Structure 1
Amino acid sequence: MKLLTGRITVDSKTVGGKPFFRGTRIPVYVVLEMLANRERSEDIFRAYPNLTEDDLRDALIYARNLAEVPAAPPAAA
């Protein structure tokens, strides 16, 4: 298991190797999608009571960190 942020980890044997919140099986992309759809944090916590404000903040930090990585150039045809 590899820790990506304080609360986000990845393990090839858990949720298909996708990043998830430590201590849960909740994939980060699910919460990011909810935030992108402008769902309120209260609604996210109702759907996933094990999550905290720090989890939501780490999800945004994780997404920002991914956006900072240079995109690979397209493969030559």
Structure 2
Amino acid sequence: MSSPTPLITCTPGVRSGKACVAGTRISVSDVLEYLASGMSQEEILADFPDLQAEHIQAVLRYAAEREKRLSELTVA
């Protein structure tokens, strides 16, 4: 799966090739789980100093694009 943004990367050998915030081992699914559990963006940024607000936005864009592609596959 190609990344919609250079802020999200999939690197073999890093978190089993999961989509991660570039330059970190923080996966897209980790950030989504934190948000779904009720953590605010500010709390996530405070807990993970390597992250910036644009990383969280990139995670949300990545997840939205993935969902869109999956929806298009099920309709086809």
TM-score by length of 2: 0.83
- Give the number of the structure with larger relative contact order, counting CA–CA contacts within 8 Å between residues 6 or more apart: 2
Residues 1-77 of structure 1: pairs in structure 2 closer than 5 A: 4=3, 5-69=5-69, 70-72=72-74
Structure with greater proportional helix content: 2
Q: 1:46 to 1:26 in 2, by over 3 A?
A: same
- Segments of 5+ residues of structure 1 without an aligned counterpart are none
Count of residues paired in the alignment: 72
- Opposite residue 50 of structure 2, the aligned amino acid is N
User: Runs in 1 of length 4+ with deviation above 3 angstroms?
Assistant: none
SS of aligned partner of 1:20: strand
| Cα-Cα RMSD | 1.8
Q: 1:31 to 1:47 in 2, by over 3 A?
A: same
Identity over aligned pairs, percent = 31
- Segments of 5+ residues of structure 2 without an aligned counterpart are none
